[in-house]
A and B are shown apart, each in its own frame.
Chain A
Amino acid sequence: MFEHIDPRSPTPIYAQIADRVRLAVAAGDLRAGEGLPSVRALAGQLRVNPATVVQAYRDLERDGLVEMRQGAGTFVADVAVETRARERAAAAQRFVRQMLTEAARLGLSPTDLRLALERDLPESK
């Protein structure tokens, strides 16, 4: 779940970690009550500053996606269906914004993108 964390990306590492968890919760890959790796284990695994992992978990807690229980660890909260849908929409939005910025840099117009997207998207039913 935490593969391909990219320290060179303009998105800070803590935000990348939080986004992965958000998506996993939204997709139902992480269920309510499931435990996240401890700060030490995840920091060790990713070779990042433990404070970065703490910041990611705090962000998730603030948004009601996880609960941090003193001494016990961090657990996925019971998230409403609407919240999961909202998280997915937000993740898709982030992805599209990133793509648009990148495309603008390459000199591609919105029309170019729309055409390319239509060509590659599976037929909608």
Chain B
Amino acid sequence: MSDAIKIRNLAWRAGRDFAIRDLAMTVPTGAIYGFLGPNGSGKTTTIRLMLGMQQASDGSIEVLGHSVPRQAHKALARIGYVPERLHLYQGLTVEESVRYHRAFFPTFDATEAERLRKRFGLREDALVAKLSKGEAGKLMMLLALSQRAELLVLDEPTDGLDPVIRREVLSALVEYVDGAKATVFISSHLVHEQERICDWIGVMDGGRLIAELPMQEFRSGIKRLRVHKAPVSRDATPFALLSRETPTQHLEEWVVRGWQPEMQEWFARVGAEVRDVQDLDLEESFVELLRGSRVATTTETR
């Protein structure tokens, strides 16, 4: 199985304050890949580099087998892209926008566009300039889905939309994926949506990809442990310790990454006892992971 997106050693710099460093990313064909990260972590920049809209200073990018930016035009013909700032011509109607978009993509499916237009409740003769934010979002999604693209790149496609419209858009996306067996790359900080539909997760922070793994591993590997008689030293743990708190005198709460049940033995050896192992949801895991990675970076630079 090939990969839809393969990025290696990517570097890019904007002034002194922000840089993408040594970024490696692999999106398997057929995955629904959730791209998470706080604001300003470099998600949109990574997407723009990936689509050849900005040029990296170092590294390699391959999208659908095409090398970017050199063959970006070939890749783009097979990609449906919904940018963070919606790109629509204000003077066109819905129907004209569809015809305009269609001219660029030979694979465009007009029947599908019409079906989605009705489903999304968009009037043919409505002027783009008069559309609500939600309607404009639906129109962008309609255009991307009707392209019959092999890869959909969605940059915060549902952020700022109301819950009813978010549901409509996500349902249409999921149904498209099932029919077309397409790969989806979806950047968002609406973690609960990612949690439902994604099977891969990549996490950006400060221009670096700090984690990339299948959703189930991501969820099952990060745990909160309640530790009785916790050891003072945190050396040589068989897992990564992301955070450590002492809510009561005798009990510590540890958030760990890479947890396996057998690791209970390690605590027994150091004279401690794990009282409870709690699962975290994606949002908590994400927050803890960022906290852990930031602590690690500060220690490194000292």
Main secondary structure of the interface of A (DSSP, over half): helix
Contact flags B181-219 to A (C-beta < 8 A → 1, else 0): 000000000001101111100000000000000001001
Contact status B197-A40, CB under 8 Å: no
The interface size bin for chain A is 20 to 34
Tell me the bound Cα distance from A7 to B280 in angstroms: 11
A46 is an interface residue with CB less than 8 A from chain B: yes
Contact status B199-A47, CB under 8 Å: no
Chain B residues with Cβ below 8 Å from A10 are 219, 279
Contact status A49-B198, CB under 8 Å: yes
Contact status A47-B193, CB under 8 Å: yes
Chain A residues with Cβ below 8 Å from B278 are 105
Closest chain B CB from A57 CB (angstroms): 13
Closest chain B CB from A36 CB (angstroms): 15
A8 is an interface residue with CB less than 8 A from chain B: yes
Output the nearest chain A residue to B167 by Cβ-Cβ distance.
A47
Tell me the bound Cα distance from A83 to B13 in angstroms: 62
B256 is an interface residue with CB less than 8 A from chain A: no
Given the known A-B contacts A12-B216, A40-B179, A104-B276, are A49 and B197 also in contact in the complex, defined by CB atoms under 8 Å?
A: yes
A binding-site residues for B, Cβ under 8 Å = 7-10, 12-13, 39-40, 43-52, 104-105
B binding-site residues for A, Cβ under 8 Å = 32, 167, 170-172, 174-175, 177-179, 192-193, 195-199, 216, 219, 276, 278-279, 281-283
Tell me the bound Cα distance from A25 to B2 in angstroms: 40
> Can you list the 10 inter-chain pairs with the closest CB atoms, starting with the nearest?
A10-B279, A8-B281, A50-B178, A7-B195, A44-B171, A40-B178, A47-B170, A44-B175, A7-B196, A43-B174
Output the nearest chain A residue to B179 by Cβ-Cβ distance.
A40
Contact status A47-B192, CB under 8 Å: no
Count of A-B residue pairs with CB < 8 Å: 55
Contact status A48-B216, CB under 8 Å: no
10 A-B pairs (CB sep. < 8 Å)? A7-B282, A8-B192, A8-B195, A8-B281, A13-B196, A43-B174, A44-B174, A44-B175, A47-B174, A49-B198
Contact status A49-B199, CB under 8 Å: yes
Cβ contact of B174, chosen from A9, A12, A13, A50, cutoff 8 A:
A50
Chain A residues with Cβ below 8 Å from B196 are 7, 13, 46-49
Between A7, A46, A48, the greatest number of chain B beta carbons within 10 A of the residue's beta carbon is seen for: A7
Closest chain B CB from A103 CB (angstroms): 12
Between A44, A45, A48, A105, the greatest number of chain B beta carbons within 10 A of the residue's beta carbon is seen for: A44
Main secondary structure of the interface of B (DSSP, over half): helix
Between B174, B192, B195, B282, the greatest number of chain A beta carbons within 10 A of the residue's beta carbon is seen for: B174
Tell me the bound Cα distance from A46 to B171 in angstroms: 8
Tell me the bound Cα distance from A105 to B279 in angstroms: 12
Output the nearest chain A residue to B275 by Cβ-Cβ distance.
A104
Chain A residues with Cβ below 8 Å from B171 are 44-45, 47
Contact status B216-A50, CB under 8 Å: no
Chain A residues with Cβ below 8 Å from B276 are 104-105
Output the nearest chain B residue to A52 by Cβ-Cβ distance.
B199
Given the known A-B contacts A7-B192, A7-B196, are A50 and B177 also in contact in the complex, defined by CB atoms under 8 Å?
A: yes
Contact status B281-A47, CB under 8 Å: no
Contact status A43-B195, CB under 8 Å: no
Output the nearest chain A residue to B166 by Cβ-Cβ distance.
A47
Chain B residues with Cβ below 8 Å from A48 are 174, 196-197
Chain A residues with Cβ below 8 Å from B281 are 7-9
Chain B residues with Cβ below 8 Å from A7 are 192, 195-196, 281-282
Tell me the bound Cα distance from A39 to B178 in angstroms: 8
Tell me the bound Cα distance from A84 to B195 in angstroms: 32
Between A9, A51, A104, A105, the greatest number of chain B beta carbons within 10 A of the residue's beta carbon is seen for: A51
Chain B residues with Cβ below 8 Å from A8 are 192, 195, 281-283
